[in-house]
């Protein structure tokens, strides 16, 4: 029997390694930026075209390379960072395995120009799919410029699995921001398709955070600085009022390396206990410095995960540091143990009316299960078979969807509606009753309405008396430009006004009153969150995001008119039983079911 085990060719081994290290264009961006940092650069420029599929170029003013080093940089496991195994436990550089450049060269067309400081000429190398096609002396600035062209040109199947340009650009911006936030002492630039996305001069850490995420975050940053025998931690957490519905702006850095760690994230969120409503997440930018021998960063190809020698102690320090910071800056509520147990709410004459004793009024003749209208509370109103549009038209509007038949649509004109715990709606029928989830029902109504508006590319808009200027992060600016046509169809009149700045001229006519800028930013965050967990197209994602953002929530008190409008709009839907999330909108109880429940 002949031998069957053999060594893989270098080209195949490099392509396999590239599948782990260079998972998408953003992975190549990360490796090039980190190499530039390791080279001692003080200025780094990133140029991207077509979300990195056509071009990724990083230019730095670092130390540059000799002709021999330039060639060796593309060999697998060739590195200047390690010489023995023990060096793994004293690493403070970004890269050390020597796989990145070999992996990039295996799946792209690469050109590198590099010159050492003080030398008259540099070196130019061209590589295509691991094959060096050209190497010659050249005239170039000091430092290094690497261009990656036509990523995955020789692996078309892998290229086909890349997401849309908007999604891939989002990942590139995230990687750029992580490196830029880790090194405020370095100037960074980023250009996408000829447009400047970021221009970040050398600055303090706070200035860098504000430059990346916009001026709105500045007043919400709470400084944090703790020195211990195990580690030092500094940075910023944000005030509870600045919490968002997504986890996007959460950053941990260990020895200036961005990491992901759910355990440490839990330490931070636990410090906000009882300060945030459910489903809200604080932003934070925390920088931990500790002995490299206490961690192992060589456990994942992308080096974004680490193992700690004593993670429980680190958890306790982070949690304590965050709580101390929030309390020190009077963000967290203070407990006064000298205060008496009586309620101490001062009344200041002239600033507020005198409190009134609560009163309770009841109707002794009210019976929700009685069919006679004369014995029904006057607050319940009726449930007509046609849509009732009255005092609350702005909240619910009208539904232009076909009125398809449903068994439960045929009802009397005067059956009661009750709101239960400001979350559910009781609706009586001759054959039992229906319980509805008010949030799910309204989200279903809005979802169908927004989907129809996106299909027709027209939606009612109400012009703002005073247009509002909105400044967003570069990532959200790109997303907003991509969605501009579709959100206009939904009623948002938003126009670009300079770098990362937009002017809101109009909002959907049936939108709740409130800050239009906050609503758009929340909409974008919801859209990004859906994008990461749902496999739906852009328009369905947008319709779901709008419905989720603007739907009434559990805990909202509804008047009798609102209840009537909500039920009538819901009944006109073709398939009203499930919300966009898949949750049930209603449950129907028949007398037979009730009999079985009560064992009759």
Mean pLDDT across 534-545: 82
Q: Which residue has the higher pLDDT, 45 or 229?
A: 45
Structure tokens, 84: 């023995």
Decide: helix, strand or coil at residue 131.
Answer: strand
Residue 418 has pLDDT above 60, yes or no: yes
- What's residue 337's pLDDT? 37
Q: pLDDT per residue over 353-397, tens digit each? A: 444 555 555 555 555 445 443 333 333 333 333 333 333 333 344
C-alpha–C-alpha distance, residues 330 and 236, integer Å: 15
pLDDT of residue 162: 87
CB-based burial label for 68 (10 Å; 0-12, 13-18, 19+): exposed
CA gap 285, 235 in Å, rounded: 6
Say if residue 182 is exposed, middle or buried (CB neighbours under 10 Å; 0-12, 13-18, 19+): buried
Residues 150 and 54: beta-carbon distance below 8 Å = yes
Confidence of residue 485 (pLDDT cuts 50, 70, 90): confident
Q: What share of the chain is helix, strand, coil (3-state, %, to 5)?
A: 35, 20, 40
Percent of the chain with pLDDT over 90: 28
d(C-alpha 367, C-alpha 372), whole Å = 9
Most confident segment among 288-302, 397-411, 492-506, 516-530: 492-506
Distances (CA, A) of 61 to 57, 186, 232: 14, 11, 31
DSSP secondary structure code for residue 80 in this structure:
S
CA 118 to CA 248: how far, in whole Å?
Answer: 43
pLDDT tens string 139-173: 999 999 999 999 988 888 788 888 888 889 889 99
Task: Give me the helices (H) in 196-353, please.
Answer: 205-213, 262-271, 311-328
Residue with tokens 């109103």: 381
CA distance 168 to 179: 17
- Asked whether 327 and 318 are in contact (CB, 8 A), the reply is no
Q: How far apart are CA 138 and CA 135, in angstroms?
A: 9
pLDDT band at 110 (very low <50, low <70, confident <90, very high): very high
Residue 345 binned pLDDT confidence (cut-offs 50, 70, 90)? very low
Rounded distance, CA 423 to CA 553, Å? 8
Look at the domain 10-202 and name its fold.
Heat Shock Protein 90 (3.30.565)
- Rounded Cα distance between 63 and 496, Å, is 40
Lowest mean pLDDT among 19-23, 328-332, 388-392, 436-440: 388-392
| E strand or H helix at 384 | none
Residue 45: partners with Cβ closer than 8 Å, 6 or more residues away: 58, 59, 60, 188, 189, 190, 191
Give the pLDDT of residue 287: 96
When the candidates are 3.30.230.10, 3.30.1180.10, 3.40.228.10, 3.60.15.10, the CATH number that belongs to 207-328 is: 3.30.230.10
Beta-strand runs (E) in 21-180: 43-49, 55-60, 109-115, 122-128, 131-138, 143-149
Superfamily of domain 381-600: MutL, C-terminal domain, regulatory subdomain (3.30.1370.100)
Across the range 489-498, mean pLDDT stands at 85
Q: Write out pLDDT tens, residues 237-273.
A: 999 888 887 777 899 999 998 988 889 999 999 999 8
User: CA 377 from chain center: how many Å?
Assistant: 46
Residue 199: pLDDT band by 50, 70, 90 thresholds? very high
**How buried is 463 (Cβ within 10 angstroms: 0-12 exposed, 13-18 middle, 19+ buried)?**
exposed
Averaged over 45-53, what is the pLDDT? 95
Q: What mean pLDDT comes out for the span 395-413? A: 39
Question: Does 342 score more than 70 pLDDT?
Answer: no
Domain with CATH 3.30.230.10 in the chain: 207-328
- Which segments within 14-54 are labelled E, that is strand? 43-49
CB of 561 closer than 8 Å to CB of 380: no
The ranges of the chain annotated as CATH 3.30.1370.100 are 381-600
Alpha-carbon span 246 to 368, nearest angstrom: 42
> How many residues are there in the chain?
600
| CB-count burial class (<10 Å; 0-12, 13-18, 19+) for 350 | exposed
Highest mean pLDDT among 18-22, 406-410, 516-520: 516-520
**Residues 6+ away with beta carbon under 8 Å from 372:** none
Give the mean pLDDT of the chain. 78
The reported pLDDT for the residue numbered 188 is: 97
Find the radius of gyration of the CA atoms of the chain. Answer: 30
Distance separating alpha carbons of residues 525 and 284, to the nearest angstrom? 17
- pLDDT: which is higher, 103 or 98: 103
pLDDT range class, residue 331, cuts 50, 70, 90: low
Per-residue pLDDT at 336 exceeds 50: no
109 versus 360: the higher-pLDDT residue is: 109
Could you tell me which of 435, 417, 545 has the C-alpha nearest to residue 490?
Answer: 545
**Residue 364: predicted pLDDT:** 58
Cβ partners under 8 Å of residue 294, min gap 6? 230, 308, 309, 310
DSSP type of residue 584: B
Residues carrying CATH 3.30.565.10, the chain: 10-202
Backbone region of residue 79 per phi and psi (left: phi > 0; alpha: psi in -120 to 50; beta: other values) = beta
φ and ψ at residue 448, rounded to 5 degrees = -65, -40
Comparing CA positions, the residue from 570, 584, 588 lying closest to residue 447 is 570
């Amino acid at each position: 029997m002949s031998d069957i085990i053999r060594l893989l060719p270098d080209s195949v081994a490099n392509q396999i390694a590239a599948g782990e290290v260079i998972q998408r264009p953003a992975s190549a961006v990360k490796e090039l930026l980190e190499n530039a940092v390791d080279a001692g650069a003080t200025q780094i420029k990133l140029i991207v075209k077509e979300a990195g599929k056509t071009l990724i170029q990083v230019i730095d003013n670092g130390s540059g390379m000799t002709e021999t080093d330039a060639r060796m940089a593309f060999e697998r496991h060739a590195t200047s960072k390690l010489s023995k195994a023990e060096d793994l436990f004293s690493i403070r550089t970004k890269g050390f395995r020597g796989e990145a450049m070999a992996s990039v060269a295996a799946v792209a067309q690469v050109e590198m120009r590099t010159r050492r400081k003080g030398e008259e000429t540099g070196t130019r190398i061209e590589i295509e799919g691991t094959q060096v096609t050209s190497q010659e002396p050249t005239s170039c600035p000091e430092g290094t410029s690497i261009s990656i062209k036509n990523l995955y040109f020789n692996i078309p199947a892998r290229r086909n699995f890349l997401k849309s340009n908007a999604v891939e650009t989002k990942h590139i911006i995230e990687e750029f921001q992580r490196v830029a936030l880790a090194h405020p002492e370095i100037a960074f630039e980023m250009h996408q398709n000829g447009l400047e996305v970021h221009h970040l001069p050398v600055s303090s850490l706070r200035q860098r955070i504000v430059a990346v995420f916009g001026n709105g975050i500045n007043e919400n940053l709470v400084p944090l600085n703790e020195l211990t025998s195990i580690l030092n931690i500094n940075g910023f957490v944000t005030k509870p009022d600045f919490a968002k519905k997504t986890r996007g702006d959460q950053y941990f850095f260990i020895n200036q390396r961005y990491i992901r760690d759910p355990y440490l994230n839990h330490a931070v969120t636990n410090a906000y206990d009882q300060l945030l409503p459910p489903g809200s997440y604080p932003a934070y930018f925390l920088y931990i410095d500790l002995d490299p021998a206490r961690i192992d960063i060589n456990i994942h190809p992308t080096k974004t995960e680490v193992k700690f020698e004593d993670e429980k102690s680190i958890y306790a320090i982070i949690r304590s540091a965050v709580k101390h910071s929030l309390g020190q800056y009077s963000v967290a509520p203070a407990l006064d143990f000298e205060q008496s147990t009586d309620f101490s709410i001062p009344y200041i004459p002239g600033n507020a009316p005198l409190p009134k004793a609560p009163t309770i009024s009841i109707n002794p003749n009210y019976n929700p299960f009685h069919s006679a209208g004369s014995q029904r509370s006057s607050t319940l109103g009726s449930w007509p078979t046609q849509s009732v549009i009255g005092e609350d038209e702005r909240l619910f509007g009208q539904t232009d969807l076909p009125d398809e038949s449903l068994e439960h649509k045929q009802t009397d004109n005067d059956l009661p509606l009750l709101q239960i715990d400001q979350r559910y709606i009781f609706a009586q029928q001759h054959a039992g009753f229906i319980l509805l989830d008010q949030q799910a029902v309204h989200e279903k109504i809005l979802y169908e309405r927004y989907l129809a508006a996106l299909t027709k590319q027209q939606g009612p808009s109400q012009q703002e008396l005073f247009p509002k200027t909105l400044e967003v992060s570069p990532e959200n600016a790109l997303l907003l430009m991509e969605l501009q046509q579709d959100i206009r169809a939904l009623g948002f009149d938003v126009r670009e006004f300079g770098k990362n700045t937009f002017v809101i001229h109009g909002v959907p006519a049936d939108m709740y009153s409130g800050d239009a800028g906050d609503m758009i930013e929340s909409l974008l965050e919801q859209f990004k969150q859906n994008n990461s967990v749902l496999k739906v197209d852009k328009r369905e994602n947008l319709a779901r995001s709008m419905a989720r953002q603007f739907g009434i929530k559990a805990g909202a008190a509804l008047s009798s008119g609102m209840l009537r409008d909500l039920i009538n709009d819901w009944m006109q839907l073709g398939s009203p039983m499930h919300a966009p999330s898949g949750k049930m909108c209603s449950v129907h109880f028949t007398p037979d079911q009730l009999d079985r429940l009560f064992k009759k």
